[in-house]
């Protein structure tokens, strides 16, 4: 006997994780996607994204008969055991940033047009995608049905640990103006025993932005602090360790880097600025958070320039550089809004010749050949090949394997042994032992 019949529309990393994890909690889950080839792959247990534990969970739950995949939301409606109706519909469709930084809701609208009229009375429609404040209200208007509850239930999953985050959440947030619908959604997660915030839809929608923008602000603060450390001769590692022991600050999310990226933080910071603008509120703190991040990319380029040429205004024209890591962070193959790629673009504009290596880009999808380049950056099959003839290596993604790269071999391959480590990942002593000049962020001597 299944706990609840749940339909999930959209099998991106949020939808697929939600579907597989809800199935593992005992619910009967049917996931729908418009991409036929993707549905076919998922039925065979082939997951397109690098997400630890996800493909195993998909295979396990599919074999257990709790999880299935169909093409199109309308098909999903009729795909439950004994042709019984779905009780809860999760919307996990893309909400990309549209013109002027406003999230584009066409995918949500199209699902509502496709199945809204066919939902059984009492079905709950849940917005899982990050959406502007007011979307639950708009979804309810699109539905034009008083017998369907609309709930906002934002996710707080991180790419690279989505399954773990889903099954061990810090909190569950459920917002609706329909109390009964909200409680039914909260009950889906009851087995997880997480603190649950039951609120109105607008607060739940805002909470998602508030969390991501706070995280972005924390990182911009740390990156600015790292720069200040360089100027005053302090060490960012010691400073963040020291402040992190204060439980009100916490140790997490305090590593300086090439700037924050990915499919969420950049999109959500801009979207919240729009929300603020529309409410006639000048959110200066958030604007400064974004500006600091944009500046961080240029700051990395300036560091490379200084390290390679010895001058702040030196030329990078025809300088060969090795880039280690192109994904927006470690543990994922996601390249969306990757700071590494933004920095690569700036370096290319400055005339540099780039060769990259990323451990997540060495195999193609479902047996396809590995990519040979990303956004104009040619890819090498390993770090040492990428470093051949380079005048510096730049560590851009915090892949743990970079710590244990054969740095002596790297030094031998490079024309000049310089490493600019934008993640303070590799032990500078290891680099120095290999005869490499190590430059990091905000460490003593990094200025």
Residues in contact with ligand UGA by CB under 6 A are 130, 155-159, 212, 215, 219, 253-255, 257, 260-262, 264-265, 328-329, 339
Return the number of the residue (13 or 80) whose C-beta is nearest ligand UGA.
Answer: 13
- Buried/exposed code over 189-220 (b: 16+ C-beta within 10 A; e: otherwise): beeeebebebbebbebbbbbbebbbebbbbbb
How far apart, in whole angstroms, are the C-alpha atoms of residue 173 and residue 196?
6
Beta bridge partner(s), residue 127:
91, 152
CB of 60 to ligand UGA, least distance (A): 23
Return the number of the residue (265 or 426) whose C-beta is nearest ligand UGA.
Answer: 265
| 26 phi/psi in degrees, rounded to 5 | 105, 0
- For the chain, the helix, strand and coil percentages under 3-state DSSP, each to the nearest 5: 45, 15, 40
CB of 217 to ligand UGA, least distance (A): 12
Q: Length of the chain in residues, anyone?
A: 447
Instruction: Give start and end residues of each alpha helix (H) in 35-158.
Output: 36-43, 54-63, 73-77, 106-115, 135-143
Beta bridge partner(s), residue 324:
357, 395
For every residue of 233-266, DSSP letters joined together read T--HHHHHHHHHTSTTT-STT----S---TTTHH
Return the number of the residue (271 or 411) whose C-beta is nearest ligand UGA.
Answer: 271
- The DSSP element (H or E) to which 12 belongs, if any, is none
CB of 20 to ligand UGA, least distance (A): 16
- 225 Cβ contact partners less than 8 Å away, ≥ 6 residues apart: 236, 239, 240, 256, 442
Return the number of the residue (157 or 414) whose C-beta is nearest ligand UGA.
Answer: 157
Return the number of the residue (136 or 215) whose C-beta is nearest ligand UGA.
Answer: 215
What is residue 284's three-state secondary structure?
helix
CB of 82 to ligand UGA, least distance (A): 35
Report DSSP state, residue 379: B
Q: Is 31 a catalytic residue?
A: no
> Do residues 78 and 36 touch, judged by C-beta distance below 8 A?
no
Catalytic residue, chosen from 21, 213, 264, 322, is 264
CB of 415 to ligand UGA, least distance (A): 29
How far apart, in whole angstroms, are the C-alpha atoms of residue 132 and residue 369?
39
Return the number of the residue (224 or 264) whose C-beta is nearest ligand UGA.
Answer: 264
| 324 phi/psi in degrees, rounded to 5 | -100, 110
CB of 365 to ligand UGA, least distance (A): 20
Cite the active site residues: 264
């Amino acid at each position: 006997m299944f706990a609840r019949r749940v339909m999930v529309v959209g099998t991106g990393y949020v939808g697929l994780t939600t579907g597989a994890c809800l199935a593992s909690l005992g619910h009967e889950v049917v996931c729908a996607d418009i991409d036929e080839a993707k549905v076919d792959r998922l039925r065979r247990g082939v997951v397109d994204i690098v997400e630890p534990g996800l493909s195993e969970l998909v295979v396990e739950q599919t074999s257990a008969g709790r999880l299935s995949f169909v093409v199109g939301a309308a098909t999903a409606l009729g795909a439950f055991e004994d042709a019984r109706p779905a009780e809860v519909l999760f919307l996990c469709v893309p909400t990309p940033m549209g013109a002027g930084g406003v999230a584009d809701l066409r995918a949500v609208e199209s699902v509502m047009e496709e199945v809204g009229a066919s939902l059984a009375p009492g079905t709950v429609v849940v917005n899982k995608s990050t959406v502007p404040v007011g979307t639950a209200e708009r979804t309810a208007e699109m539905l034009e049905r008083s017998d369907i509850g609309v709930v906002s239930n934002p996710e707080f999953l991180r790419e690279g640990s989505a399954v773990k985050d889903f099954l061990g959440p810090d909190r569950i947030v459920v917002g609706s103006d329909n109390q009964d619908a909200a409680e039914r959604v909260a009950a889906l997660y009851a087995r997880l025993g997480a603190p649950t915030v039951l609120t109105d839809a607008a607060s739940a929608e805002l909470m998602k932005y508030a969390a991501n923008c706070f995280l972005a602000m924390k990182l911009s603060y740390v990156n600015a602090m790292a720069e200040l450390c360089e100027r005053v001769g302090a060490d960012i590692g010691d400073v963040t360790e020291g402040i992190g022991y204060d439980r009100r600050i916490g140790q997490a999310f305090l590593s300086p880097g090439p700037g924050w990226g990915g499919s969420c933080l950049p999109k959500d910071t801009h979207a919240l600025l729009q929300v603020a603008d529309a409410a006639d509120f000048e959110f200066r703190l958030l604007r400064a958070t974004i500006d600091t991040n944009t500046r961080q990319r240029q700051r990395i380029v300036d560091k490379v320039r200084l390290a390679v040429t010895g001058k702040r205004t030196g030329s990078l024209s025809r300088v060969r550089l090795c880039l280690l890591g192109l994904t927006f962070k470690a543990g994922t193959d996601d390249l969306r809004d990757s700071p590494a790629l933004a920095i690569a673009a700036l370096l290319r504009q400055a005339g540099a010749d780039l060769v990259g290596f990323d451990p997540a880009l060495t195999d193609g999808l479902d047996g396809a050949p590995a990519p040979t380049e990303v956004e104009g950056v040619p890819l090498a099959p390993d770090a040492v090949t990428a470093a051949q003839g380079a005048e510096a290596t730049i560590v851009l993604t915090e892949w743990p394997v970079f710590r244990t790269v054969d740095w002596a071999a790297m030094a031998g391959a490079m024309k000049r042994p310089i490493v600019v480590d934008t993640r303070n990942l590799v032990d500078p002593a290891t680099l120095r032992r290999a005869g490499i000049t190590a430059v990091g962020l905000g460490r003593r001597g990094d200025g």
